[in-house]
Amino acid sequence: MAEIVPEIQARRARRAMSFRPIAEDVIERLVGAAVLAPSCSNNQPWRFVVVADPARLEALKEALSRGNAWARRSPCIVVAVTDRTFDCMLSDRRDYALFDVGLAVQNIVLQGTREGLIAHAIAGFTPELVKQVLGIPAEHLVITLVILGYPGDEAALSEKQRITEHEERTRKPLSEVRMRDRWEGGA
């Protein structure tokens, strides 16, 4: 029977991680999956900085927001970088760099899920500090940090995060987001 792709169904933005390192071949597959994503005119606007060196990783973690203290357990963080000039810039504000990087990041997340990892993209970090630690040019855009790690204990989670970890996912009802044959509901 047709079904939703199992990794899409299984993926969650979980936070309880172990310190267990991630093998190099696994990392290679994650990045390999990322670059298979489609992009406007095949511009491939993504750049990924894979950070696993312990000293560099520690420095990078200083950029995490307080709410993302759970990510301090991660043995490897993939930093997704782009620039609007790396991709199509069309009329009506259609700059495709972020869109295409999002497609590539989701490939990392789904491949990570397949590999038994938590792969959790976050926005809660200080981009200037990330750039400084990794030597990323100031004019580029650090759009997300993909926090990677094998499932582990909940020690680093806040009370609220511990509850979320076991909750069903919440989504708007389809009736609110899906329209048929025309735009419905005004502005």
Ligand X SMILES: Cc1cc2nc3c(=O)[nH]c(=O)nc-3n(C[C@H](O)[C@H](O)[C@H](O)COP(=O)(O)O)c2cc1C
Residue placing its CB nearer to ligand X in the complex, 74 or 181: 74
Shortest spacing between CB 91 and ligand X, in angstroms: 25
Q: Which helix (H) or strand (E) holds 51?
A: strand 47-51
- Helices 127-134 and 54-61 sit at what angle, rounded to 10 degrees? 160
Residue showing the smallest CB distance to ligand X in the complex: 124
Distance, CA of 36 to CA of 32 (rounded, Å): 7
Nearer to ligand X among residue 160 and residue 180 (C-beta): 160
Q: For binding to ligand X (CB under 6 A), which residues are involved?
A: 12-13, 15, 68, 121-124, 144, 169
Of residues 111 and 144, the one with the C-beta less far from ligand X: 144
Q: Long-range contacts of range 180-184, CB-CB < 8 Å, 24 or more positions apart?
A: none
Shortest approach of ligand X to residue 125 CB, angstroms? 7
- Give least dist CB 124 to ligand X, A: 3
CA distance 150 to 120: 11
